């Protein structure tokens, strides 16, 4: 288990140092600084460093180094998970988690560290509960509820639903579901798909009173195959309300006619999924029902992964020719591969150029503007809006400076960044979200879909 | 110094603020002041002077102030007792506060302050808090118990806190349960005599609590399930099934610890059909973790590697998920590359290769190198892809990127090794890059290639000559390669090499400091000057196969690491005890249900791995070792094993003077045994009370001690030694020659020798530290007088044996390691305290490619503990070199192993060659063996000739380890018109059951078209291959081995081991029946620990037992006997000496799962023994005992 936690700034100065065990001294903070932070190697070769019998686990965020120290054969995954969570707490408490925030809130951070780790064992790290009794001025003022009795805090902090207080009241009960998919693609230079998968995230923002029991359904192939009737029953039973809200939101139950490539009744094969700790894993295991009592506010309900039938939103056809040592020619054609009713926004195509590029002549036919960015060694092509079933192309000639020692160009891949609303690359749809609460209130639910680029690489 | 007044001023100001009398009803002012104090503290300013004022603030009824005061106390009180003492009153108030948060905080803080008074005043409140009605307080109190135990372990036990913790396991609140579990787990991990054992009942309760726990609590509970030893398969299956849903958890810590528990439990699953779906379910979550943060990805990848080795079928068809993204951190990329390599099969090799070529163009040098190296490995692993790989490598060489070229050349050397006479056409291209090679490994590889093909490269002499200029400046690795290459050149093209050879040999022997090179130089010199033909045979011998399974871990290590999934240990691939001082070794708990099943992938897709990993025989271990050394890419040049061979040869030529300097002495390890570490561990974790006054316990600990003695002596680098030792663990230990004698009371010491890790943990985690200390005495007997007669020739062969006569009380054991090449080099000898007054015989003999005398001279050397004794050697009958030897030679058991650590002198040599009566082996064979070894000296770290059915050179008595009944006539020529079949049944290393037959044709017509069929029999024994007999010419005979498998149609026979066999051939169809010895059905997994043995022995108290008297056992020592039994899967659980006799306790497991537990009482003169057996299958006991008797009385 952890013996100490340190937070350093970029330079390696210790901002926070909390020792939990007597087997380390504060001076180990220096050991890490000397061996890792100030190490001459520019790239960190491993997130874990063991010196003697002392192991340091670190992650970096913004201008901070978060470092946990262990003297035993610690479970590395747990330690990193703890550090991620610590980061999350910081962000949640202070909005930004950087040197500034740490310096301004060190007392609170110490309080948190005292609470979330006992003798190096992670304890309750749920923001909601912690905010009940580890508070800053600012956090407290936002808390509408008066400080609850200590007993209810302790019940909360140790109970079966540590992530939720039981005294939450909303006038209007609403739940927002965001389905956010990241498409990962590696396309070979010859145009074959080496790897395509979708990492999905279902983020929920719940503003529901009391202790609501939620049930959540997707067009999961395993569920639909087993019980094709259940889907329609659910739809008719009207666990879902239709309401014409803001454009990006789509009320549940209506089929996504505009959803790229996914027709009605189609189901998605989910390769694997992971859930927030509020989801009852046992039930999912037996009948693939996703049931849970949600935390209040925003949380990531689940993550999933699909590898079959990925609808790639963009096709990229690059031709890159190195003409001798003096010049490289590019022809890049991009086609959007989703319904014409939808469009991609904030699209950025980064086309790498050799490090010794001097001048670029670029021509774009179609939407978007491109220019050569010498710092990144790339032509950056920005397309603010890209309609479905459209295409655009770029041609460029890049002149190269002669090199004294010619080294071959490693030809890094072209990468894409984009967002497409109301489109899921996996074809996943939310079928229902049902909320049951003792007081039997009506609730409104909204769902939104977005696909963005994960690591969308096209080799050249 | 300027700062000092400033700081004092600050302290002064703060003091004023803290003591201010101003109105401060809610403590707001003081809160601000306290914040300043904490701020200063964080910056490292000493605020301890303010302690009185700060402690006074404890009375302020504000949680935040209190927290800061506590923080202050934690910071300063641990160093300054007076501060702590002053705070005690405040604490005492707080632990009785009505607010549970404050109570908990007080308890929590007090636990951090290791000051006697605070701890004293903690004890009473803690007891109350453990029963507090508030769960938050209880969970904090549970942790406080752990804190207390770290301060004073005995206190926790005296005050019965452990029991209270145990009670908390049944607490209604999941967080409390989780913390109690965490505390108990750690207490047991750190305590030498507390061992956590959970039964299924508790386990089930804990698993139920899982659902309600927060994520961290789930981790603690899942972790504790590692302390459940399933008693039958259904236990394991239940646990797996119930925790399977955890794989869907969003916290990667939960997922990986679940994987760990499942991986552990899978060892207890009996059915492949059950295992398969489990493995299938494991894959997706592992792939999903690759979408987590890079740190978690890295951990996952490292663990996937381990899981893949154990269960090669997981992650099938998931290859693409491991393709590297351009912006993956380098550590993720490198780890992915390893997984990709493991997942490469014939089908996907092409895709992988394209991918690797892509990586080879990236920027990071390490990554590129590893990619290039991986291409070479694929070539070696998958023959069909080799062409493509070579082409890819050639393309890469054309890029002229320096490090790519060098790396490519290194792997091409391995490809040449693997596929001789296939790709030599590319040598020309390689030679174009001679000038750019500046890395030793690449230079050495290139030189090897040139030397190897010296006769095909027209100007090989000139090319080699270019390397000559720098010879004396080159690193040892290159010099060694050069030396060998030049000798090869000379042998292949004497005219071309004749100028170079003397020069290089002279340099090597006179100007080079490295003993490796010097020795090699001498050996070549001798070879060339005495017998060029022999030199040719030695230097140009066929090379053993290499395989690509590079970083494969050997099974015991892998098994241990798999019990550490997700931890640091799994990332570093080192057992925790190598870097954590207090770590206990984990082993698979012995249980009847322990099956260690694995599922082999479809045979086409993977090469050597298709064999069931678990049942890997020693011989394949050896292959692994060979492979890995090839894989190290070091080419075994530095510190190579056979170099030791030559090292001692050198010593011989020097006249074998007494005090030869041997650089390896300190790292000599003793011992060869089957990797049977389970025995050791269970001994250590044995419950004392369970054992009571049983003398065997004491004896075992003596054994431990003995073993530790040797360990203490050798003082080697465990981590790096480990694979080497294991690699050689397979030498047939019961051949007439004992590689190392490690006798006396220490039965398990022997077992442990094979596994140094076990020893290490033994030292740190043994429950009998006192005994150990008492017994641990080590003496270096080696440096003294190791006297050797002058040996006129390096090929002199000598054999000698030594007998130590231990003193009655502190007897001595000699562990003699590292006898190489015929010289009694002064290796270390460990003397172990022992209480067994037996004679101990160590026979060490070494074979060398020369004429040798079959008789070994025996010296009896009475040795008292601690005195250096002389290893005397007798060289008998060194005759001329040329004539073939007709003397019977068997069981050549030369084992060389080395350690390639970073310590330059880290080397071990242990070679023992045995000569015994037995089958006759031609001299040539012997030479071949040696040639192989010699070859290896130029290429491999480890040569392991002579063990089991290992690669390359093994004398004909190769498999002397396992008992094979003498052949008897199955079919008589009289009844079959001339076909006579003699045959017997054997179980060879690795559990290969086979029928060994010779078909003799005594008719005048050739007989052909043989086929064989078995009738249904008791255990469903059927031939698994075809009968490889072609045509047997008249008056000729053919020897054949027919592999058998179990699982065919079964039907009980009478007697049970009866077999009805039909043979069809051109001479007709013949039926006969025969019986096999039951031992061929003894499984490799039949070893149980002492606890288990005792339990079963007691449990079967009323079971029918059998007893059998056996006469005239054929053993030289108890050692020998144990080895022989172990080799035949009659595993020694314990051994103890009583007056004039030794009692062995053994266990065996029949393939059908029946267990046999025996007590074998052996008279020390081996004239008689009594075997008493209890078994779950009583009807088999007579057959079992017959088999044991046969093993014991066979030659």
**CA nearest to B324, candidates B310, B346, B341:** B341
What value, to the nearest 5°, has the Cα angle with vertex B94 and ends B90 and B98? 150
Residue A294 has a pLDDT of 92
State what percent of residues in chain B have pLDDT above 90. Answer: 13
B45 contacts chain A (CB < 8 A):
no
B395: tokens are: 């393309």
Sign of CA dihedral B980, B982, B985, B987: negative
Using CB atoms, pick whichever of A50, A78, A276 lies closest to residue B253: A78
Highest-confidence range of A78-92, A95-109, B635-649, B827-841, by mean pLDDT?
Answer: A78-92
Q: Count of CB atoms within 10 A of residue A242's CB?
A: 12
Per-residue pLDDT reduced to its tens digit, A36-46: 888 877 677 78
Residue of A nearest to B368 (CA): A410
Q: Is A129 helix (H, G, I), strand (E, B) or coil?
A: helix
A413 contacts chain B (CB < 8 A):
yes
State what percent of residues in chain A have pLDDT above 90. Answer: 45
CA–CA distance, A309 with A311 (Å, rounded to integer): 6
CB pairs under 8 A between A and B: 261
The span from the first CA to the last CA of chain B, in angstroms, equals 86
Residue B837 has a pLDDT of 35
DSSP summary character for residue B508:
I
What value, to the nearest 5°, has the Cα angle with vertex B521 and ends B517 and B527? 145
DSSP summary character for residue B1157:
E
Do A300 and B250 lie within an 8 Å CB cutoff? yes
The CATH class that applies to domain A4-158 reads alpha beta
A188 contacts chain B (CB < 8 A):
yes
What contacts B826, CB < 8 A, 6 or more positions away? Answer: B659, B660, B662, B665, B782, B783, B784, B786, B871
Residue B542 has a pLDDT of 78
| B1090 has pLDDT over 70 | yes
Do B299 and A302 lie within an 8 Å CB cutoff? no
Do B250 and A274 lie within an 8 Å CB cutoff? yes
| Touching A: B residues 8-37, CB under 8 Å | 35
A403 contacts chain B (CB < 8 A):
no
Pairing verdict, β A430-436 and A213-218: antiparallel
Using CB atoms, pick whichever of B326, B354, B567 lies closest to residue A75: B567
Residue A149: pLDDT band by 50, 70, 90 thresholds? confident
Phi, psi for residue B566 in degrees, rounded to 5: 85, -10
**CA nearest to B606, candidates B335, B372, B385, B299:** B385
Residue A148 has a pLDDT of 63
B9: tokens are: 């001023």
Q: Count of CB atoms within 10 A of residue B692's CB?
A: 7
More confident residue, B287 or B529: B287
Residue B602 has a pLDDT of 56
B435: exposed, middle or buried (Cβ count in 10 Å: 0-12, 13-18, 19+): exposed
B370 contacts chain A (CB < 8 A):
no
Per-residue pLDDT reduced to its tens digit, B1054-1076: 778 888 888 888 878 888 888 88
CATH of A314-421, one of 2.60.40.1170, 3.90.1300.10, 3.30.365.10, 2.40.50.100: 2.60.40.1170
Residue A231: pLDDT band by 50, 70, 90 thresholds? very low
Three-state SS sequence of B851-884: CCCCCCEEEEECCCCCCCCCCCCECCCCCCCCCC
| Touching B: A residues 132-161, CB under 8 Å | 133, 150-151, 153-155, 157-160
Per-residue pLDDT reduced to its tens digit, A71-101: 999 999 999 999 999 999 999 898 889 999 9
- What are the DSSP E strand ranges found in A353-390? 357-365, 369-373, 378-387
Per-residue pLDDT reduced to its tens digit, B530-543: 887 888 888 888 77
Do B285 and A195 lie within an 8 Å CB cutoff? no
Using CB atoms, pick whichever of B112, B175, B566 lies closest to residue A158: B175
Residue of A nearest to B573 (CA): A73
What contacts B234, CB < 8 A, 6 or more positions away? Answer: none
| B1106 has pLDDT over 70 | yes
Residue A396 has a pLDDT of 94
What contacts B762, CB < 8 A, 6 or more positions away? Answer: B585, B680, B681, B684, B704, B707, B708, B752
Q: Lay out the sheet containing A430-436: strands in order across.
A: A290-292, A213-218, A430-436
A87: tokens are: 């980061």
How many residues are present in chain A?
460
A80 contacts chain B (CB < 8 A):
yes
pTM of the predicted protein model = 0.64
B596: tokens are: 């260690």
Mutation pick from A4, A14, A78 vs chain B, by most beta carbons of B within 10 Å, is A78
More confident residue, B686 or B185: B185
Sign of CA dihedral B1082, B1087, B1088, B1093: positive
Sign of CA dihedral B371, B377, B382, B387: positive
Range B775-790 average pLDDT = 32
- Strand-pair partners of A60: A65
Give chain A's radius of gyration (CA, Å). Answer: 26
In whole numbers, what is the pLDDT of chain B averaged over residues? Answer: 69
Q: What residues does each domain of chain A span?
A: 4-158, 174-310+423-458, 314-421
Residue A42 has a pLDDT of 65
Per-residue pLDDT reduced to its tens digit, A389-420: 999 999 999 999 888 777 778 889 999 999 99
CA–CA distance, A444 with A441 (Å, rounded to integer): 10
B883: exposed, middle or buried (Cβ count in 10 Å: 0-12, 13-18, 19+): exposed
Query: b or e along B713-723 (b: 16 or more beta carbons within 10 Å of the residue's beta carbon)?
Result: bbebebbbbbb
Do A285 and B580 lie within an 8 Å CB cutoff? no
Give how far A280 is from chain B: nearest CA, Å: 7
- Strand-pair partners of B1063: B1012, B1070
Do B174 and A285 lie within an 8 Å CB cutoff? no
CA–CA distance, A217 with A435 (Å, rounded to integer): 12
Give how far B599 is from chain A: nearest CA, Å: 23
Per-residue pLDDT reduced to its tens digit, B740-763: 333 322 223 333 333 333 333 333
Residue B1102 has a pLDDT of 65
Q: Count of CB atoms within 10 A of residue A295's CB?
A: 23
Highest-confidence range of B396-410, B592-606, B921-935, by mean pLDDT?
Answer: B396-410
More confident residue, B654 or A407: A407
Chain B residues within 8 A of A121 when measuring between CB atoms: 143, 179, 182, 216, 220
More confident residue, B1086 or B221: B221
What contacts B908, CB < 8 A, 6 or more positions away? Answer: B664, B667, B668, B669, B716, B721, B724, B725, B817, B818, B897, B898, B899
Residue A152 has a pLDDT of 75
Per-residue pLDDT reduced to its tens digit, B201-240: 889 989 988 888 889 999 999 999 999 999 888 889 999 9
- Structural domain A174-310+423-458, CATH architecture: Sandwich (2.60)
Residue A120 has a pLDDT of 93
B569: tokens are: 């240990």
CA–CA distance, A102 with A110 (Å, rounded to integer): 10
Residue B334 has a pLDDT of 93
Highest-confidence range of B623-632, B889-898, B1050-1059, by mean pLDDT?
Answer: B1050-1059
Do A110 and B38 lie within an 8 Å CB cutoff? yes
Residue B24 has a pLDDT of 65
Contact A396, A330 (CB under 8 A): yes
Residue B257: pLDDT band by 50, 70, 90 thresholds? very high
DSSP summary character for residue B419:
S
One-character DSSP codes across B253-318: HHHHHHHHHHHHHGGG---HHHHHHHHHHHHHHHHHGGGS-HHHHHHHHHHHHHHHHH-TTTTTT-
Do A45 and B71 lie within an 8 Å CB cutoff? no
Residue B551 has a pLDDT of 61
| B1083 has pLDDT over 50 | yes
CA–CA distance, A342 with B638 (Å, rounded to integer): 65
Do A184 and B325 lie within an 8 Å CB cutoff? yes
Among A70-74, B566-570, B723-727, B1049-1053, the minimum mean pLDDT is found in B723-727
Give chain B's radius of gyration (CA, Å). Answer: 34
Residue of B nearest to A135 (CA): B64
Same fold, A4-158 and A314-421: no
| B464 has pLDDT over 80 | yes
């Amino acid at each position: 288990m952890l013996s100490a936690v340190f937070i350093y700034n970029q330079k390696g100065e210790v901002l926070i140092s909390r020792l939990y065990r007597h087997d380390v001294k504060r001076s180990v903070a220096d050991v890490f600084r000397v061996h890792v932070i100030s190490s001459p190697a520019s790239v960190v070769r491993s997130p874990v460093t063991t010196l003697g019998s002392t192991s340091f686990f670190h992650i970096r965020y913004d201008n901070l180094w978060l470092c946990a120290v262990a003297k035993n054969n610690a479970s590395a995954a747990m330690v990193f998970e703890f550090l991620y969570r610590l980061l999350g707490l910081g962000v949640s408490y202070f909005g930004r988690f950087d040197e500034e925030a740490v310096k301004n809130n060190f007392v609170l951070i110490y309080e948190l560290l005292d609470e979330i780790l006992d003798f190096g064992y992670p304890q309750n790290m749920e923001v909601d509960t912690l905010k009940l009794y580890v508070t800053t001025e600012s956090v407290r003022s936002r808390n509408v509820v008066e400080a609850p009795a200590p007993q209810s805090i302790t019940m909360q902090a140790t109970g079966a639903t540590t992530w939720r207080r039981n005294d939450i009241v909303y006038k209007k009960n609403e739940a927002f579901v965001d389905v956010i998919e990241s498409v990962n693609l590696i396309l070979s230079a010859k145009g074959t798909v080496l790897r395509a998968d979708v990492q999905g995230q279902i983020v929920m923002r719940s503003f529901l009173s009391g202790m609501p029991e939620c049930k959540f359904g997707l067009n999961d192939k395993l569920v639909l195959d087993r019980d094709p009737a259940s889907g329609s029953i659910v739809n008719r039973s009207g666990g879902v309300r239709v309401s014409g809200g803001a454009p990006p939101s789509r009320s549940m139950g209506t089929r996504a006619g505009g959803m790229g490539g996914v027709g009605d009744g189609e189901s998605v094969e989910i390769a694997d999924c992971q859930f927030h700790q509020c989801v009852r894993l046992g039930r999912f295991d037996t009948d693939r029902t996703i049931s849970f009592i949600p935390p209040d506010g925003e949380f990531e309900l689940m993550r999933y992964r699909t590898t079959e039938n990925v609808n790639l939103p963009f096709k990229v056809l690059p031709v890159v020719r190195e003409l001798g040592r003096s010049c490289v020619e590019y022809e890049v054609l991009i086609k959007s591969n989703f319904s014409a009713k939808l469009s991609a926004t904030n699209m950025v195509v980064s086309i790498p150029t050799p490090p010794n590029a001097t001048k670029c002549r670029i021509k774009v036919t179609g939407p978007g503007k491109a220019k050569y960015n010498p710092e990144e060694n790339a032509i950056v092509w920005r397309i603010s809006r890209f309609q479905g079933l459209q295409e655009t192309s770029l041609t460029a000639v890049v002149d190269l400076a002669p090199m004294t020692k010619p080294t071959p160009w490693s030809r890094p891949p072209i990468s894409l960044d984009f967002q497409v609303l109301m489109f899921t690359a996996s074809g996943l749809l939310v079928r229902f979200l049902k909320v049951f609460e003792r007081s039997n209130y009506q609730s409104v639910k909204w769902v939104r879909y977005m696909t963005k680029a994960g690591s969308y690489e096209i080799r050249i | 110094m300027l700062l000092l007044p400033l700081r004092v001023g600050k302290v002064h100001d703060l003091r004023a603020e803290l003591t201010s009398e101003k109105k401060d009803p809610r403590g707001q002012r003081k809160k601000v002041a306290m914040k300043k104090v904490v701020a200063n503290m964080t910056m490292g300013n000493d605020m301890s002077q303010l302690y009185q004022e700060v402690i006074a603030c404890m009375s302020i009824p504000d949680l935040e102030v209190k927290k800061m005061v506590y923080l202050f106390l934690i910071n300063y009180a641990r160093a300054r007792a007076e501060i702590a003492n002053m705070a005690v009153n405040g604490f005492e108030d707080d632990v009785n506060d009505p607010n549970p948060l404050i109570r908990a905080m007080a308890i929590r803080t007090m636990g951090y302050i290791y000051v006697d008074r605070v701890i004293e005043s903690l004890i009473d409140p803690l007891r109350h808090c453990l029963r507090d009605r508030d769960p938050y307080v209880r969970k904090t109190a549970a942790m406080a118990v752990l804190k207390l135990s770290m301060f004073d372990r005995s206190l926790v036990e005296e005050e019965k806190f452990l029991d209270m913790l145990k009670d908390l396991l049944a607490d209604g609140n999941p967080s409390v349960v989780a913390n109690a579990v965490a505390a108990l787990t750690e207490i047991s991990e750190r305590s030498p005599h507390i061992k956590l054992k959970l039964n299924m009942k508790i386990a089930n309760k804990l698993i139920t609590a899982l659902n309600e726990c927060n994520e961290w609590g789930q981790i603690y509970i899942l972790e504790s399930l590692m302390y459940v030893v399933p008693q039958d398969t259904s236990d394991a299956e239940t646990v797996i099934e119930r925790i399977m849903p955890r794989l869907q958890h969003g916290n990667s810590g939960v997922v990986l610890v679940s994987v760990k528990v499942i991986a552990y439990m899978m060892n207890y699953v009996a059915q492949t059909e059950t295992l398969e779906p489990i493995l299938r379910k494991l894959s997706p979550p592992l792939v999903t973790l690759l979408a987590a943060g890079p740190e978690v990805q890295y951990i996952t990848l490292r663990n996937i590697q381990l899981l893949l080795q154990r269960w090669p079928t997981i992650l099938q068809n998931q290859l693409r998920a491991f393709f590297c993204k351009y912006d993956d951190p380098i550590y993720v990329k490198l780890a992915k590359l390893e997984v990709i390599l493991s997942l490469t099969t014939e089908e996907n090799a092409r895709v992988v290769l394209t991918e690797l070529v892509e990586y080879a163009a990236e920027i990071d040098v390490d990554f590129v190198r590893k990619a290039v190296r991986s291409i070479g490995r694929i070539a070696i692993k998958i023959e069909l892809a080799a062409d493509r790989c070579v082409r890819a490598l050639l393309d890469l060489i054309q890029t002229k990127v320096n490090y790519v070229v060098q790396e490519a050349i290194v792997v091409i050397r391995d490809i040449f090794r693997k596929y001789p006479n296939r790709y030599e056409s590319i040598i020309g291209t390689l030679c174009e890059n001679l000038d750019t090679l500046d890395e030793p490994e690449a230079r050495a590889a290139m030189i090897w290639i040139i030397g190897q093909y010296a006769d095909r490269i027209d100007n090989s002499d000139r090319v080699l000559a270019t390397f000559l200029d720098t010879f004396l400046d080159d690193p040892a690795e290159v010099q060694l390669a050069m030396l060998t290459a030049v000798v090869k050149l000379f042998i292949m093209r004497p005219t071309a090499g004749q100028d170079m050879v003397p020069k290089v040999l002279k340099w090597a022997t006179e100007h080079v400091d490295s003993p490796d090179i010097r020795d090699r130089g001498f050996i070549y010199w001798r070879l060339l000057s005495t017998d060029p033909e022999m030199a040719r045979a030695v230097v140009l011998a066929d090379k053993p196969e290499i395989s690509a399974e590079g970083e494969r871990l050997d099974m015991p290590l892998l098994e241990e690491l798999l019990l550490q999934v997700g931890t640091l240990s799994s990332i570093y691939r080192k057992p925790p005890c190598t870097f954590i001082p207090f770590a206990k070794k984990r082993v698979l708990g012995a249980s009847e249900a322990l099956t260690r099943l694995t599922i082999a992938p479809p045979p086409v897709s993977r090469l050597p791995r298709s064999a069931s990993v678990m049942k890997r025989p020693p011989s394949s271990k050896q292959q692994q070792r060979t492979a890995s050394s090839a894989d190290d890419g070091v080419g075994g040049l530095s510190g190579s094993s056979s170099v030791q061979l030559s090292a001692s040869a050198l010593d011989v030529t020097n006249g074998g003077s007494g005090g030869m300097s041997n650089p390896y002495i300190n790292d000599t390890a003793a011992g060869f045994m089957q990797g049977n570490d389970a025995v050791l561990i269970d001994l250590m974790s044995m419950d004392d009370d369970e054992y009571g006054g049983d003398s065997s316990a004491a004896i075992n600990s003596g054994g431990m001690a003995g073993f530790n003695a040797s360990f203490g002596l050798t003082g080697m680098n465990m981590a790096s030694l480990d694979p080497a030792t294991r690699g050689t663990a397979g030498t047939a230990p019961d051949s007439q020659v004992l590689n190392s004698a490690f006798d006396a009371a220490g039965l398990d010491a022997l077992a442990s020798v094979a596994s140094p890790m076990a020893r290490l943990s033994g030292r740190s985690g043994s429950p009998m530290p006192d005994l150990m200390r008492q017994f641990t005495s080590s003496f270096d007997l080696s440096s003294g007088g190791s006297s050797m007669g002058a040996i006129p020739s390096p090929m002199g062969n000598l054999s000698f044996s030594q007998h130590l006569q231990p003193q009655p009380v502190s007897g001595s054991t000699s562990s003699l390691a590292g006898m190489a090449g015929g010289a009694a080099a002064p290796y270390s000898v460990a003397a172990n305290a022992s209480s067994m007054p037996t004679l101990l015989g160590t026979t060490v003999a070494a074979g060398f490619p020369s004429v040798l005398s079959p008789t070994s001279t025996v010296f009896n050397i009475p040795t008292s503990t601690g005195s250096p004794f002389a290893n005397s050697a007798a060289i008998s009958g060194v005759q001329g070199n040329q004539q073939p030897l007709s003397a019977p030679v068997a069981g050549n058991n030369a084992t060389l192993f080395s350690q390639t650590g970073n310590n330059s002198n880290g080397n071990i040599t242990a070679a023992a060659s045995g000569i015994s009566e037995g089958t006759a082996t031609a001299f040539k064979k012997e030479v071949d063996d040696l040639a192989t070894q010699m070859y290896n000296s130029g290429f491999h770290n480890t040569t392991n000739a002579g063990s089991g059915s290992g690669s390359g050179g093994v004398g004909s008595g190769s498999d002397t380890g396992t008992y094979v009944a003498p052949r008897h006539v199955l079919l008589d020529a009289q009844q079959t018109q001339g076909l006579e079949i003699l045959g017997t049944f054997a179980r060879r290393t690795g559990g290969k059951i086979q029928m060994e037959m010779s078909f003799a044709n005594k008719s005048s017509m050739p007989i052909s078209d043989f086929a064989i069929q078995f009738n249904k029999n008791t255990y469903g024994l059927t031939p698994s291959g075809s009968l490889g007999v072609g045509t047997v010419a008249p008056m000729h005979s053919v020897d054949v081995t027919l592999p058998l498998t179990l699982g065919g149609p079964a039907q009980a026979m009478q007697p049970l081991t009866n077999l009805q066999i039909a043979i069809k051939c051109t001479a007709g169809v013949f039926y006969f029946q025969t019986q096999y010895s039951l031992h061929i059905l003894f499984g490799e997994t039949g070893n149980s620990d002492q606890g288990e043995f005792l339990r079963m022995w007691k449990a079967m108290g009323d079971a029918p037992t059998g007893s059998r008297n056996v006469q005239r056992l054929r053993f030289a020592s108890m050692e020998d006997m144990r080895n022989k039994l172990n080799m035949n899967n009659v595993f020694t659980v314990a051994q103890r000496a009583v007056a004039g006799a030794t009692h062995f306790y053994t266990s065996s497991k029949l393939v059908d799962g029946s267990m046999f537990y025996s007590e074998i009482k052996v008279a020390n003169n081996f004239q008689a023994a009594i075997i008493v057996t209890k078994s779950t299958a009583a009807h088999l006991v007579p057959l079992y005992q017959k088999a044991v008797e046969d093993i014991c009385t066979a030659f």
